[in-house]
């Protein structure tokens, strides 16, 4: 556990790095912040923080930069201060959004634009239908031992299908067994509901690789309709960040975020946790392509009307601003 002084040093270093995107040295910290100690003491504290894995030195002669562990400590301190619990963050933004958009689609689009503007990050507002769409029936039609068509009928009447290819031969009996299991488990439920309430037997049954593959296809099918797409803006803002000045560095992030399964799995955690805000930093993200970014997300709405709002940016993002902005968007979309 860090001492209060070293927490202050770490916080000061992270704030400077967020602001200037340059490695931070002991002299800079003592000049910019009232730490109440000498540069020599700060150097000792920086060495201790580096040994503990909270910061690192990119080059021998350079200052230090935060690690994912350092950011996590910083964010946990922000959250413990009650930042995520504020009832009316950015109230002017909330009022403006509600006044300018009466329908959900328009409100989602305007909210996404406001988030991108406030945070200089990629903003995503996921419609409730993506997370809460309930399944009426799943049909698996064999094309060959290596291919089948997955047909999903949703309770709102939407019908979508997708061709799935198997690595190994799948018999008609195996396909029929998977279809019966999926209908028994998924019919009348959303994928989110199932993940939240599975008993041990269901978890074991759904762990079959064939069933897992088909579930992935079902989730992707549900996300295919135009109404289910997320509203996202801010790629140009990300490209202006030093970390992504070379657009090739951002390409893997954009590509993985285009995969509906990644979005659903990542953002469903925000809805499932039930807290006011979820923060995933760098390597905490499930997809390796997202190891260089952080995600700040929280749910909005309730029950069938529950969606997710999020911002995605470099791990050097301004977390305080991002948390406040996401909470404001949550309030605007929540109808509070």
Angle at 80 between CA 268 and CA 114, to 5 degrees: 55
pLDDT at residue number 16: 96
Nearest 5°: CA angle at 65, between 62 and 66? Answer: 160
Q: Where do the domains of the chain lie, and which CATH numbers do they carry? A: 4-66 (1.10.10.10), 89-127+230-334 (3.30.450.40), 133-226 (3.30.390.60)
Q: What is the dihedral of CA 43, 46, 48, 51, to 10 degrees?
A: -130
pLDDT value at position 98?
61
Q: So what's the pLDDT on residue 227?
A: 43
State the CB neighbour count (10 A cutoff) for residue 294: 25
CB 312 within 8 A of CB 125: no
| First-residue to last-residue Cα distance in the chain | 39
Residue 90, burial from CB neighbour count under 10 angstroms (0-12, 13-18, 19+): buried
Q: What is the mean pLDDT of each run of 10 residues along the chain (336 residues)?
A: 91 95 92 90 95 91 91 93 70 66 68 86 77 77 90 75 87 90 81 56 69 77 55 81 85 79 67 75 90 90 74 94 89 69
Say what the pLDDT of residue 226 is: 42
Query: Any idea what DSSP says for residue 24?
Result: B
| Token pair belonging to 193 | 């509901």
Q: Is 35 helix (H, G, I), strand (E, B) or coil?
A: coil
pLDDT at residue 81, as a whole number: 83
* DSSP letters spanning 102-117: -SHHHHHHHHHHHHHH
Q: Give the Å distances, CA to CA, from 203 to 88, 194, 206, 208.
A: 40, 10, 5, 9
Query: % helix / strand / coil in the chain, to the nearest 5?
Result: 55, 20, 25
């Amino acid at each position: 556990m860090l001492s209060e002084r070293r927490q202050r040093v770490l916080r000061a270093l992270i704030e400077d790095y967020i602001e200037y995107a340059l490695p931070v040295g002991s002299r800079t910290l003592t000049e910019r912040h009232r730490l109440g100690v000498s540069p020599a003491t700060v150097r000792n504290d920086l060495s201790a923080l580096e040994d503990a894995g909270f910061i690192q030195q990119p080059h021998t002669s350079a200052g230090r930069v935060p690690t994912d562990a350092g950011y996590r400590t910083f964010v946990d301190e922000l959250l413990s201060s009650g930042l995520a619990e504020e009832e009316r963050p950015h109230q002017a933004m909330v009022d403006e959004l509600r006044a300018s958009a009466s329908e959900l689609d328009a409100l989602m689009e305007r909210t996404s634009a406001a988030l991108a503007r406030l945070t200089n990050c990629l903003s995503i507002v996921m419609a409730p239908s993506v997370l809460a769409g309930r399944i009426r029936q799943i049909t698996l039609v064999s094309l060959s031992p290596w291919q089948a068509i997955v047909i999903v009928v949703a309770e709102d009447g939407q019908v979508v299908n997708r061709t799935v290819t198997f690595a190994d031969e799948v018999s008609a009996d195996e396909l029929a067994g998977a279809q019966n299991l999926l209908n028994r488990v998924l019919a009348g439920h959303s994928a989110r509901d199932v993940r939240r309430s599975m008993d041990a037997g269901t978890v074991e049954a759904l762990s079959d690789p064939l069933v897992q593959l088909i579930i992935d296809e079902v989730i992707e099918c549900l996300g295919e309709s135009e109404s289910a797409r997320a509203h996202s803006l801010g790629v140009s803002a990300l490209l202006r960040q030093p970390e992504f000045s070379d657009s090739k560095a951002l390409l893997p992030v954009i590509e993985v975020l285009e995969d509906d399964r990644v979005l659903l799995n990542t953002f469903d955690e925000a809805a499932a946790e039930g807290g006011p805000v979820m923060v995933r930093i760098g390597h905490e993200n499930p997809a390796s392509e997202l190891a260089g970014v952080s995600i700040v997300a929280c749910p909005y709405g309730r029950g069938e009307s529950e969606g997710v709002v999020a911002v995605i940016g470099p791990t050097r993002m301004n977390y305080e601003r991002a948390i406040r902005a996401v909470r404001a968007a949550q309030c605007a979309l929540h109808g509070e």
